[in-house]
Amino acid sequence: MKIRHNPQSHSFASDNYSGIHPKVLEAIAAANGGHEAAYGSDVYSHALRQKIQSLFGDAANCFPVFNGTGANVLALQALLPRWGAVICAQSAHIQCDEGVAPEYIGGIKLLAVETADGKLTPELIDREAWGWGVEHRAQPLAVYISQSTELGTCYTAAEIRAIAEHCRRLGMKLYMDGARLANAAAFLQTDIKAITTDAGVDMLSLGGTKNGMMIGECLITLQPDLAEAMPYLRKINMQLGSKSRFIAAQFLALLENDLWLQLAQHSNRMAQRLRHAIEGVNGVEITQETQANAVFARLPIAARRALHEEFHFYDWHEPSGEVRWMTSFDTLPEHIDVFVNAIVQACR
């Protein structure tokens, strides 16, 4: 096959733009050949379930899916009755970046709350946590948080625990979108169980695509009763892969010897390198804390236009001139240096 792209190109648009880590690619090839049972009955999927239990506890069960939107919709369907609603941040992925999939496919009412840094608190949740028993209002029965958030910030274990305890008092479930959970764990320098199972999360997704995998996310139930409906919901949401061994094999490679954390640590370091290099550059204003692998900044419109001619990145909030720059597991220091030099030149 003819190579149709530049293998040396690099983007700061999203960690989704990156390729596949070599060890993950090797795992796909290793799982190939011969026949294995389909639909998650294969030896790789079985091994993945055991690995997930070793990380998240004996009660954990896992359900690999194709993508993040499918994971979020499926999880919220499992947590909510037809009359239920989920409280989320205004900047949440399900609110801003999944079209109308939660509403149209999932039949889920979203109750969005404005936040300063992408993180919910019990006090912010209470802005929409009301109206139980009122038949005219969708019933708030779940809370959605992202780890890390869409603004690149991370919830501490104490913050998650406070939200989980508040949810329990109100009879609500807590779901964590962990598309970049590895980046949060790397930033917090904590055991993964401490910010999920032990903190009181009911269900979460474990991201793979943004951290070196070709395709796949993994839904993890942490309460035994929540796992019962998952096989059926995964099927009707078209998220059950027949050749599931290839998704499971990728996760096994990513989780082996903490490769997932090593890759996240690297992408976080590259984000810090970028932030430190542009601090003080004339015309550049950092707008959010840099905790995971995202840098948010405001730039003059002429500088943004000039940079867009050479680099891929997203305008996060075009009216204010705010942009988002993402680093990846394969971002190198020289990529940062070239980009920083271009930013300096564009802002002159």
Q: Residue 141 has which token pair? A: 């029965």
- Cis omega (within 30 of 0) for bond into 148: yes
- At 273, the amino acid letter reads R
For residue range 313-333, list pLDDT tens digits in order.
Answer: 999 988 898 999 999 999 999
| Pair type for strands 314-317 and 294-298 | unpaired
Contacts of 99 by beta carbon, 8 Å cutoff, 6+ apart = none
Where in the chain is CATH 3.40.640.10? 21-257
Query: Between 245-255 and 22-30, two packed helices, what is the crossing angle to 10 degrees?
Result: 140
Q: Give me the residues paired with residue 325 across strands.
A: 295
Structure tokens at 238: 């078209």
Rounded CA separation 89/95 (Å) = 8
CA 153, CA 143: separation in Å to the nearest integer? 18
Distance CA 264, CA 87 (A): 28
CATH number for the region 21-257 comes to 3.40.640.10
What distance in Å separates the CA atoms of residue 122 and residue 345, rounded to the nearest whole number? 44
Q: In whole angstroms, what separates CA 22 from the centre of its chain?
A: 21
- Superfamily of domain 259-346 in CATH is Aspartate Aminotransferase, domain 1 (3.90.1150.10)
Write phi, then psi, for 244 (nearest 5 degrees). -65, -20
Count of helices and strands (H, E) across the chain: 13, 11
Low-confidence ranges of the chain (pLDDT < 70): none
C-alpha pair distances (Å), 320 with each of 97, 143, 205, 301: 19, 29, 32, 9
Between CA 306 and CA 346 the distance in angstroms is: 6
Rounded distance between C-alpha atoms, residue 66 and residue 239, angstroms:
6
176 vs 128: CA distance, rounded Å: 18
d(CA 19, CA 77): 31
User: Residues 336, 338, 341, CA angle at the centre, nearest 5°?
Assistant: 105
Q: What's the pLDDT score for residue 318?
A: 85
pLDDT for residue 348: 86
Packing angle between helix 245-255 and helix 43-56, nearest 10 degrees?
40
Q: Give the residues across from 206 on adjacent strands.
A: 218
CA dist 194 and 174 (Å) reads 15
Residue 155 has a pLDDT of: 98
DSSP 8-state secondary structure symbol assigned to residue 42: S
HSE-up of residue 247 (Cα within 13 Å, Cβ side): 27
